[in-house]
């Protein structure tokens, strides 16, 4: 059975946020700061994907509208 690598990589960002949350909750105060960057990176990956998806959809809609105006 072949597993799509994109499917696996789609779980990386939520997993990073989960690790960060668990680390912030369970570690002592001196080590909590080490889990903050991984959570921020996971959050930034999700936000970047969302922004790119919205921009791509907007561009596709503009192309569709421009083809309708030409005809």
Question: What residue numbers bound the domain in which 25 lies?
Answer: 5-70
H-assigned helices in the chain: 5-9, 12-26, 36-70
Distance CA 64, CA 50 (A): 21
pLDDT at 1 over 60: no
- pLDDT tens-digit readout, 13-54: 999 999 999 999 998 888 888 899 999 999 999 999 899 999
Query: How confident is the model at residue 53, as a pLDDT?
Result: 92
Q: Which residue has the higher pLDDT, 45 or 10?
A: 45
The tally of domains found in the chain comes to: 1
Closest residue by Cα to residue 63 from 49, 55, 53: 55
Query: Where residue 61 falls among pLDDT bands split at 50, 70, 90?
Result: very high
């Amino acid at each position: 059975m072949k597993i799509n690598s994109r499917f696996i990589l789609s779980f990386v960002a939520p997993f990073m946020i989960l690790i960060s949350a668990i680390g912030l909750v369970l570690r002592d105060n001196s080590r909590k700061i080490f889990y903050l960057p991984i959570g921020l990176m996971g959050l930034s990956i999700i936000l970047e994907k969302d922004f790119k998806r919205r921009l791509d959809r907007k561009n596709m809609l503009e192309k569709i509208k421009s083809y309708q105006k030409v005809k």
